[in-house]
Amino acid sequence: MLLDTHQSEIEAIIARYAQKRSAVLPLLYLAQDTYGYLNPAAVREVAAILDLPATDVFEVVGFYTLFYDKPVGTWMLQVCDDLPCCYLGAEELLTALKRTLGIREDQTTADGMFTLQRVKCLAACDRAPVVQANLDYLYDVTAERADLLLANLRARAAEAKQRGLSGRSAEDFVVETDRLSHMSRDAAYQERSFTIEPPPPPTPPAELDSGYDLPQFRRASPL
Amino acid sequence: MALSEYIVMRELNHPDINQFAVYRRLGGWDAYATALRERTPAAVVQLVREAGLRGRGGAGFPTGVKWGFLPKGVFPRYLLCNCDESEPGTFNNHQIIDRNPHQLIEGVALSAYAIESNTAYIYMRGEFAAAALTLERAIAEAYQAGFLGRNILGTGYDLDIYVHRGAGAYICGEETALMESLEGKIGQPRLKPPFPAVAGLYGKPTIINNVETLANVPRIVERGVAWYRSYGTEKSPGTKCFSLSGHVNRPGNYELPFGVPLRELIESPEYGGGMRGGRKVKIIIPGGASAPWLTAKHLDVPLDYEGVAAAGSMLGSGAVIVLDETVKAPHVAYKMDEFFKHESCGKCTPCREGTHWLVKVLHRMADEGHGEAGDIETLHGIYRQMAGNCFCLLGESAVMPIKSALQLFPEEFETIIETSSRQHGRGKHVIPLL
């Protein structure tokens, strides 16, 4: 039970707010990290700690995209496909990731290592394409660097399990051609140097089978 | 026109400004300490009002005037710092915190003092997990140095600052939805009035400001009104952190005084460095996803609230997305409205249904290349039914991309319809198979 393992932390969180209910999001993050995902028992537990009807907490879990009510992979890969990422290589990256992992969006690999998601703007548009893995920022992830990224994440699977999904000890990385370099919080801020690359070749027309939104679209009204 | 001194990106070139000791040595927290000892809260409000600081989150509302809306003698009051930055093209809050978290915290502390609040929350979007840790660490340092906590610097003033992480919902950047979310509910906006200054968080008087706005406050208090107003224009004083992205050679955050022409931001080798591959500018979105589009003929528009408004758009959050001629306008509108559809909270019908239907039609046209006669009228019809009818600004914003695309590039929609791959496959002449 959360109260047994994290009692002082929970009390400290609740003490920040004038009303107990405000602690719903932080406690759900805590429960998600502890149990791996928000199963119904975990949600009820949070509701009980905060003296809330369970329905209210289920509603919150359903509303916010960073709460997972089904099991997910060790690494939750969230690829930004919004403007401007989508014009700077995000679609190519998604194609590469899907091919390598053999899954489509919102699926998990058979070994339980990766879940792939498309997400909306991650607010790092100057470092497109941008990916988050368990809320660690990964900048400049072009399609050619997808394999490097996956290999790095696989090697850090144990670390990911220990840190949890909710970014309670998140870090940021720049994905370079041959390695992932760590953007340490305590190091000096470095001004970014630009290498101005030649323009990419024109992209072929998008595959019809992008998988995104399409099944839903096919179910459109008979007219 | 590089600034000799930066306001938001203070000590831009100092490598260790993200460390507390360095920030302190370079004069950080002095403004706060002096204000606590020598100025009344009302005097700080007056100073910010005279400096003409305008909210950087999008609306450009004068901050000092907003602070003046608080009802007299009603306590407790809350200060909320809005760091729920999630709109395509906006990315400066995150980097302001990464570069120099202490300046934001000093700004929050000063502003809390000005509005006589003892509790401030910094609401960050859930994805900013690492930045939240940075801020928490910096807040802990400020407590340790005695700038936060009880009886600060012996003046009897108490202040607590907490970081609260959302969990992935753009709508929580809307001020009343943010309060709902902070109260532990789903993030749906509230009916206004009552405005937050009268009844906000927990029903108490609340002021809510953007990260960049609050990061301006320490320098205004330290250097005074005349110095601050020496930057920018008469109606938009100070500087703005423009977030430049898209098909430019050097995307990034560039702090410039208000009034700099768009061309300089995009083409100067110090900032945008021109377009990738020397291609031509096609679409400029000057203020985040909700701003009407501009085109290459607007390159001389000055980047201040009035100048961009005169060109028919809005400066909004100062997120400038520049797209070149390789993109198709219907596809840009599709991606933008897909964002709004995904982030619509579902509270009001025009937004929930309108964004849904816009995306349905646009997906078919822009992604599948299939247009039908009447699509253009349908699109006009959908956004007209949304405009002015949505509960909050999210739905109103979703109107802008499609309206701009239809206004500026109608021929691209017509081409899709004319060259559609499935001219006769669907439509009213086909008997539906049920």
Q: What is the CATH number of the domain that holds B351?
A: 1.20.1440.230
Average pLDDT, integer, range B113-135: 96
- Angle of CA points B305, B310, B315, to nearest 5°: 30
Q: Is residue B13 part of a domain?
A: no
Tell me, yes or no, if B136 comes closer than 8 A to chain A by beta carbon. Answer: no
Out of A59, A186, A189, the one facing B99 most closely (by C-beta) is A189
Model confidence band, residue B9 (pLDDT cutoffs 50, 70, 90): confident
The alpha carbon of residue A71 is apart from the nearest alpha carbon of chain B, in Å, by 18
**pLDDT of residue A128 exceeding 50:** yes
Model confidence band, residue A170 (pLDDT cutoffs 50, 70, 90): confident
Q: Is residue B8 part of a domain?
A: no
Average pLDDT, integer, range B69-93: 95
The beta strands (E) that lie in B190-329 are given as: 206-210, 239-246, 252-257, 281-285, 319-324
Q: Is residue B183 part of a domain?
A: yes
pLDDT in the model for residue B50: 97
CATH number at residue B310: 3.10.20.600
Chain B residues with CB under 8 Å of A163 CB are: none
Average pLDDT, integer, range A62-88: 95
Q: Indicate the Cα dihedral angle A100, A102, A103, A108, nearest 10°.
A: -90
pLDDT in the model for residue B56: 93
Chain A residues with CB under 8 Å of B178 CB are: none
For residues B145 and B285, membership in a common domain is answered with no
Candidates B102, B127, B134, B324: best to mutate against A (most CBs of A within 10 A) is B127
Q: Annotate A92-158 with DSSP letters as a single string.
A: HHHHHHHHHHT--TT-B-TTS-EEEEEES--S-GGG-S-EEETTEEEES--GGGHHHHHHHHHHTHH
Model confidence band, residue A86 (pLDDT cutoffs 50, 70, 90): very high
State whether B87 and A186 contact (CB < 8 Å). no
For residues B369 and B318, membership in a common domain is answered with no
Architecture of domain A2-63: Orthogonal Bundle (1.10)
Average pLDDT, integer, range B103-125: 97
Residue range(s) occupied by CATH 3.40.30.10 in chain A: 75-183
Tell me, yes or no, if A2 comes closer than 8 A to chain B by beta carbon. Answer: no
State whether A123 and B128 contact (CB < 8 Å). yes
For residues B264 and B178, membership in a common domain is answered with no
- Angle of CA points B119, B122, B127, to nearest 5°: 155
Tell me, yes or no, if A6 comes closer than 8 A to chain B by beta carbon. Answer: no
**pLDDT of residue A211 exceeding 50:** no
For residues B64 and B212, membership in a common domain is answered with yes
Model confidence band, residue A1 (pLDDT cutoffs 50, 70, 90): confident
Average pLDDT, integer, range A178-195: 67
Out of B245, B279, B360, the one facing A220 most closely (by C-beta) is B360
The 10s digit of each residue's pLDDT in B143-179 is 999 999 999 999 999 999 999 999 999 999 999 999 9
pLDDT in the model for residue A218: 45
For residues B208 and B177, membership in a common domain is answered with yes
Q: Is residue B429 part of a domain?
A: no
Q: CB burial class (10 A; 0-12, 13-18, 19+) of residue B154?
A: exposed
Q: Is residue B380 part of a domain?
A: yes
Tell me, yes or no, if B270 comes closer than 8 A to chain A by beta carbon. Answer: no
Out of B94, B134, B335, the one facing A82 most closely (by C-beta) is B335
- Please indicate whether residue B167 or residue A220 has the higher confidence score (pLDDT): B167
**pLDDT of residue A198 exceeding 80:** no
pLDDT in the model for residue B362: 96
The alpha carbon of residue B386 is apart from the nearest alpha carbon of chain A, in Å, by 22
pLDDT in the model for residue A146: 95
Chain A residues with CB under 8 Å of B323 CB are: 84, 87
Q: Is residue B432 part of a domain?
A: no
Out of B88, B359, B369, the one facing A121 most closely (by C-beta) is B88
Please give the helix or strand (H or E) that residue A182 lies within, else none.
Answer: strand A180-183
- Please indicate whether residue A202 or residue B56 has the higher confidence score (pLDDT): B56
State whether B251 and A120 contact (CB < 8 Å). no
The 10s digit of each residue's pLDDT in B406-416 is 999 999 999 99
Q: Is residue B14 part of a domain?
A: no
The alpha carbon of residue B235 is apart from the nearest alpha carbon of chain A, in Å, by 28
Model confidence band, residue B433 (pLDDT cutoffs 50, 70, 90): low
Fold topology of A75-183? Glutaredoxin (3.40.30)
For residues B124 and B213, membership in a common domain is answered with yes
The 10s digit of each residue's pLDDT in A95-122 is 999 999 999 999 999 999 999 999 999 9
Tell me, yes or no, if A120 comes closer than 8 A to chain B by beta carbon. Answer: yes
For residues B225 and B308, membership in a common domain is answered with no
For residues B205 and B297, membership in a common domain is answered with no
The 10s digit of each residue's pLDDT in B20-70 is 999 999 999 999 999 999 999 999 999 999 999 999 988 899 999 999 999
Tell me, yes or no, if B15 comes closer than 8 A to chain A by beta carbon. Answer: yes
For residues B222 and B263, membership in a common domain is answered with no
The alpha carbon of residue A210 is apart from the nearest alpha carbon of chain B, in Å, by 10
Chain A residues with CB under 8 Å of B360 CB are: 217, 220
Average pLDDT, integer, range B319-328: 95
Nearest residue on chain B to A55, judged by CA atoms? Answer: B185
Residue B103 sits in which domain range? 20-229
The answer for A 36-75 residues in CB contact with B (under 8 A) is 50, 52, 56, 59-60, 63-67
The alpha carbon of residue B127 is apart from the nearest alpha carbon of chain A, in Å, by 6
Out of B130, B321, B427, the one facing A172 most closely (by C-beta) is B130
| Nearest Cα to Cα of residue B56 among B287, B306, B227 | B287
Average pLDDT, integer, range B277-301: 94
| Separation of alpha carbons B67 and A149, rounded Å | 47
Chosen domain end from B199, B229, B259: B229
How many structural domains does chain B have?
Answer: 3
For residues B81 and B194, membership in a common domain is answered with yes
Chosen domain end from B201, B229, B257: B229
Chain A residues with CB under 8 Å of B165 CB are: 25-26, 29
Helix, strand, or coil (residue B161)? strand
Q: Is residue B384 part of a domain?
A: yes
Report chain B's terminal Cα–Cα distance, integer Å.
65
For residues B350 and B407, membership in a common domain is answered with yes
Out of B183, B246, B433, the one facing A22 most closely (by C-beta) is B183
Q: CB burial class (10 A; 0-12, 13-18, 19+) of residue A39?
A: middle
| Separation of alpha carbons B165 and A14, rounded Å | 14
**pLDDT of residue A201 exceeding 90:** no
**pLDDT of residue A220 exceeding 60:** no
For residues B319 and B336, membership in a common domain is answered with no
